[in-house]
Amino acid sequence: MHADPIGVLTGAHFIDGDHACSEGAIAAGCRFVAGYPITPSTEVVERIADRFPFVGGVFIQMEDEIASSIAIQGAVWGGKKAMTVTSGPGFSLMMEHIGLAAMTETPCVFVDVQRAGPSTGLPTMPAQGDMMQARWGSHGDYQIIAIAPNSPQECFDLTIHAFNLSERYRVPVMMMMDECVGHMIERVVIPAAEKIEVHNRKVYEGPKENYLPFEAGRDLVPMMVKAGDGYRIHVTGLTHDEKGYPNMSVSAQGKLVQRLMDKIRLHADDIIKYEEENIEGADIVVVTYGITSRTAIPAIEQARAKGLKVGHLRLIVCWPFPEKRIRELAGRVKSIVVPELNMGQMVYEVERCAAGKCNIVSVPHAGGTVHQPKDILAAIEKSIRGK
Amino acid sequence: MPEELYEIEANIPANPIEEYLRMDRMPHIWCPGCGIGTTVNCFVRALQTSGLDLDKVAMVSGIGCTGRVAGYMNLDSFHTTHGRAIPFATGLKLANPELKVVVYSGDGDLTAIGGNHFIHAARRNMDITVILINNMIYGMTGGQVAPTTPVGATASTTPHGNFEETFNLPFLAESCGAVYVARWTAHHVRHLTKSIKEALAKKGFSFIEILAPCPTLYSRRNKLGDGLDQMEFYRDHSQIKNGADTKTVALEFQGDIVVGKFVDKERPTYLQAMNQHYQKKFGDRYVPSEEMRKVFHA
C-alpha cells in the first residue's frame, strides 16, 4: 500500500530529526499521538499537534508518560495507528505499557529521543544509554524491535519503517533516536505519497462465531479486529489463550510467551537491517549505531590512512541484534571496536556473539556530548596491538 | 413433570442476563457475598434499556476484583494495567467517538494508582462513563488499606487501625469537573440501574461510586458480619439525598451513607470542545477523522 497523500509533504525540507520523525509518522498513517513534554523529544509532538488537525489525526497531551503509553494502545484497538514520544525519564515510566503492548500484541511505536541519564541526568544533551532498557525494560520475557536512525532523513524514513514493522508483527517498535539526531538540522527529502510504502495490520473479516483473536497462522502473527466491529473481543494483559481469555496454566503461559518470542526471532533475518563499509578484508570492524556512526567515520578514515584495514558496520535495526553477522565477522577479524554514548551496552551483545573469537574493545562515553574521533581512533589502534 | 413443560423450561435461559455475559467464563472469581456481581446485574439491566448498540459499547477495566468485570461482559472488553483503564479508554474514545466507552474498576485501581488519570479525565470532561466499585480495601491482594478505607477501619496493612484521611469520591469527581456524579450501594439495585442508564446517556465524564461489600477481606476483618449483614447495613444506614452538596457526603466508618444523584450538569465535552474549536479556528481546513466526522460533523 502507499501513503495517504493528505499527510505527505512531498519535497525537500531543511528540518531537524524530531520534526522529520513527526513527518514520518504522518506519512506512515499515524493518526493518534499521545505524549507528555520532555526534552529533547518535545519538538516531535509539537509538530504533530500543529499538523494533526489538517490530516484527520488526534493529538492529546496526557497527564504523564504512563497515560500516554496506554492511551495509544486504546487508540490502536479503536483502529488507529498510534505512537508516543519521550526521552529517558519518560521512557522509564512507559516500561509498564511496553510490556502490555508486547503481551496484547498491540502494534504501536515508542519514540525515545535519548538524553544522558541516569535519572534526570543531562536533559538537553545526548546519550545512547537506553539501548538495553529498550530491549529488557519491562518485566517478563518478550521481544521488541528497536531502530536507531543517524540523520534527520533517517528519522523520516525509519519512522515509516517502524510503523510498518509494528503493523506487520503486531509488536511495539522503538525509535531509539538521540538528542544529536533529534536536534540536527539537515536536508530531508519527502518522496511523493505513491513512492512511500505503507503496511497495515492484517484485519480479520471472517465469521464471528468461533473467532479466535489470538490464533496465529504460520507467520505467528494473529489477524486483528478493532472495537466496534462486532466481534466482541476480550484483550487482557493476563496470560491468555487463543480466544483472548485469561488462562492461568503453565502450558498457556509457555505457548503464548514462546510465540511472542518466536514471531520476532523467526523473522529476524527479515527485520535486521545494517549497513557495511570496507568489511571485506578488514582486520578491524567498528560497530556503531545512531549518532556514534557519524563520529566514528573520521576515526575510521584516519585509521585507514595509517594503513589499518578498518571496516564499519552500522546497526540500523538494533533489536533484534544481527547475531549471525557478528558471529561470522568475529571469526575472521582481529578485533571489533564498539563506540557508544553509554558505558557499554550493545558491546555486551557483540561480546556474546563473538564468543571470544576476536578482541572486543568498548569505547564508552557517559554522554553529554559525542565521542572525540581521536578517542575512537586510539581504541581502533589499541584493539590490534600485540595481535 | 409433564414432558412439554419440561421442554418449555429448558428453553428458558438460566439467567435473563446471560446473553450479555461470557457464560463460557463462568464461574466467576468473586467470593460469596461480594457485591460486584450485583452491580454487574444492574449494569446489564441498564444496558438492556439504554437503546445502545452493544457492538458499539466497549468496556475497559484495570486490575483487581472489579477489574475482572470486563472479562465477563460479552462486549468488546479490555483488561488493562493497574490504574490505567481511564487513559486506555481515552485513547479508544478519541480513536472512535462512535463507541460508548465504559470504565468499570475498583476504588484502589481508579483512585490510588489511577488517581492522576481519574482527575484529569474529569477535568477534560472526557466522553466516558466511569463506574467505580468501592469495597474500601484492595480485595484481590488480600485486604490492604486503600484511599477509601475509613479512618478507624482495620486493613491488612493497617493492622492497628487506619488513621489516614479518606477520599470523598463524589466531591473529588465534582471538583475536577465531572458532569454526572452519583453514589449508590449494592443494595440500591433499582436506583443504581436507573443511574447507570442515565450515566450511559450522559455526554462527557459521568461517574458512579457504588459501595459494595467485601465480606472476605473487609467485613470479616472489621467484625461486620457477612455480605448479608453489610447489605442490611446499607439498607438501614443509607439516606437518599439527590442533589446533596458533595462536600457533605464523606463516608465514615460504619457511619450513615448519603446516596443519590449529586451532580447532573452540562459542559462541553472534550470531543465537543475539540471539534468546535478547530471548526471555528480553521473552518473547512479542519479535517476530522472519518469516525469524528460521522459523530460531530454529520
The grid coordinates listed for B115 are 488517581
Q: Residue A42 has what DSSP assignment?
A: H
Domain presence at residue B290: yes
Contact yes or no for B94 and A32 at CB 8 A: yes
- pLDDT computed for residue B297 by the predictor: 80
Domain presence at residue A115: yes
Least Cα distance to A338 among A145, A162, A352 occurs for A352
Among A195, A227, A247, the domain-final residue is A195
Domain presence at residue A162: yes
Strands B129-134 and B144-145: unpaired
Structural domain including A333 reads: 276-383
Domain presence at residue B177: yes
CATH of the domain at A302: 3.40.50.920
A87 and A178 fall within a common domain: yes
A295 and A174 fall within a common domain: no
> pLDDT by residue (tens digit) across A167-196?
999 999 999 999 999 999 999 999 999 999
Question: First vs last Cα of chain A: how many Å apart?
Answer: 52
A139 and A28 fall within a common domain: yes
Based on its alpha-carbon atoms, the radius of gyration of chain A, rounded to whole angstroms, reads 21
Average pLDDT over every residue of A286-306: 98
B66 and B213 fall within a common domain: yes
C-alpha A210: how far from its chain's center?
A: 35
Residue whose cell numbers read 451532580: B263
The grid coordinates listed for B258 are 448519603
Q: What is the pLDDT along chain B (298 residues), one digit of tens a residue?
A: 455 555 556 666 678 899 999 999 999 999 999 999 999 999 999 999 999 999 999 999 999 999 999 999 999 999 999 999 999 999 999 999 999 999 999 999 999 999 999 999 999 999 999 999 999 999 999 999 999 999 999 999 999 999 999 999 999 999 999 999 999 999 999 999 999 999 999 999 999 999 999 999 999 999 999 999 999 999 999 999 999 999 999 999 999 999 999 999 999 999 999 999 999 999 999 999 999 999 998 7
Domain presence at residue A147: yes
A298 and A184 fall within a common domain: no
A26 and A124 fall within a common domain: yes
Q: Does residue B131 contact residue B102 with C-beta atoms inside 8 Å?
A: yes
Shortest alpha-carbon distance between residue A52 and chain B (Å): 8
Contact yes or no for B81 and A75 at CB 8 A: no
Which chain B residue shows the shortest CA-CA distance from A57? B289
Domain presence at residue A377: yes
Which chain B residue shows the shortest CA-CA distance from A227? B76
Q: How many domains does chain A have?
A: 2
Among A145, A161, A195, the domain-final residue is A195
Which chain A residue shows the shortest CA-CA distance from B293? A56
Shortest alpha-carbon distance between residue B100 and chain A (Å): 9
- pLDDT computed for residue B1 by the predictor: 46
B280 and B181 fall within a common domain: no
Domain presence at residue B113: yes
Question: CA B199 to CA B102: how far, in whole Å?
Answer: 10
Least Cα distance to A315 among A343, A341, A348, A290 occurs for A290
| B25 reaches A (C-beta below 8 A) | yes
A28 and A129 fall within a common domain: yes
B175 and B292 fall within a common domain: no
A189 and A284 fall within a common domain: no
Contact yes or no for A74 and B89 at CB 8 A: yes
Which residues of chain A are within 8 Å of residue B290 when distances are taken between CB atoms? 56
Q: Does residue A214 contact residue A204 with C-beta atoms inside 8 Å?
A: no
Domain presence at residue B7: no
Question: CA A286 to CA A290: how far, in whole Å?
Answer: 13
Q: With helix as H, strand as E and coil as C, how does B14-77 read?
A: CCCCHHHECHHHCCCCCCCCCCHHHHHHHHHHHHHHHCCCHHHEEEEECCCCHHHHHHHECCEE
Residue B132's DSSP bridge partners are: B105, B209
> pLDDT by residue (tens digit) across A81-130?
999 999 999 999 999 999 999 999 999 999 999 999 999 999 999 999 99
> pLDDT by residue (tens digit) across B89-105?
999 999 999 999 999 99
Residue A4 has pLDDT above 70, yes or no: yes
**Three-class SS of residue B2?**
coil
A191 and A281 fall within a common domain: no
* Peptide bond before residue B97 is cis, with ω within 30 degrees of 0: no
B280 and B238 fall within a common domain: no
Which chain B residue shows the shortest CA-CA distance from A72? B91
Q: Where are the beta strands (DSSP E) in chain B?
A: 57-61, 76-79, 100-106, 129-134, 137-138, 144-145, 180-185, 206-211, 238-240, 257-264
**How many helices, marked H, and strands, marked E, lie in chain B?**
11, 10
Which chain B residue shows the shortest CA-CA distance from A231? B76
CA separation, residue B138 to residues A311, B117, B147, B250, B253 (Å): 59, 19, 10, 19, 16
Shortest alpha-carbon distance between residue B221 and chain A (Å): 29
Q: What are phi and psi of B8, to 5 degrees?
A: -60, -45
Domain presence at residue B154: yes
Which string of DSSP letters, residue by residue, matches B95-106? Answer: H-TTSEEEEEEE
Contact yes or no for B94 and A68 at CB 8 A: no
Q: How many domains does chain B have?
A: 2
A310 and A174 fall within a common domain: no
B74 and B210 fall within a common domain: yes
Which residues of chain B are within 8 Å of residue A75 when distances are taken between CB atoms? 91-92, 94-95
CATH of the domain at B155: 3.40.50.970
Q: Where are the beta strands (DSSP E) in chain A?
A: 11-16, 30-35, 58-61, 81-86, 108-116, 122-126, 145-147, 172-178, 185-190, 234-236, 274-277, 284-289, 310-315, 317-319, 335-339, 359-363
Beta carbon pairs, A and B, within 8 Å: 149
Q: What angle separates helix A17-28 from helix A42-51, to the nearest 10 degrees?
A: 50
A54 and A178 fall within a common domain: yes
The grid coordinates listed for B148 are 477509601
B103 and B240 fall within a common domain: yes
Q: What angle separates helix B85-95 from helix B270-282, to the nearest 10 degrees?
A: 40
**Three-class SS of residue B173?**
helix
Average pLDDT over every residue of A10-27: 98
CATH of the domain at A137: 3.40.50.970
Which residues of chain B are within 8 Å of residue A64 when distances are taken between CB atoms? 116
Domain presence at residue A201: no
Which residues of chain A are within 8 Å of residue B99 when distances are taken between CB atoms? 78, 227-228
Domain presence at residue A189: yes
Domain presence at residue B6: no
Give the CA angle between residues B98, A63, B62 to the nearest 5°: 60
B41 and B105 fall within a common domain: yes
Domain presence at residue B151: yes
Structural domain including B176 reads: 15-266
B151 and B292 fall within a common domain: no
Question: CA B66 to CA B39: how far, in whole Å?
Answer: 10
Tally of CA atoms within 13 A in the half-sphere of B57 that contains its CB: 21
Among A161, A195, A229, the domain-final residue is A195
B197 and B49 fall within a common domain: yes
| B103 reaches A (C-beta below 8 A) | no
A160 and A293 fall within a common domain: no
Domain presence at residue A17: yes
Contact yes or no for A63 and B117 at CB 8 A: yes
Shortest alpha-carbon distance between residue B267 and chain A (Å): 19
- pLDDT computed for residue B5 by the predictor: 55
B228 and B292 fall within a common domain: no
Least Cα distance to A46 among A55, A33, A27, A56 occurs for A33
Q: What are phi and psi of B2, to 5 degrees?
A: -60, 145
- pLDDT computed for residue A12 by the predictor: 98
Question: CA B46 to CA A264: how far, in whole Å?
Answer: 44
Of B95, B117, B120, Cβ closest to residue A75: B95
Q: What are phi and psi of A88, to 5 degrees?
A: -35, -65
- pLDDT computed for residue B14 by the predictor: 73
Domain presence at residue B4: no
B155 and B241 fall within a common domain: yes
Amino acid at A219: D
Which residues of chain B are within 8 Å of residue A56 when distances are taken between CB atoms? 287-290, 292
Q: Residue A386 has what DSSP assignment?
A: T
Per-chain mean pLDDT for chain A: 97
CA separation, residue A45 to residues A7, A69, A77, A83, B229 (Å): 15, 14, 21, 10, 54
Which residues of chain A are within 8 Å of residue B79 when distances are taken between CB atoms? 234-238, 246
B219 and B297 fall within a common domain: no
Contact yes or no for B116 and A235 at CB 8 A: no
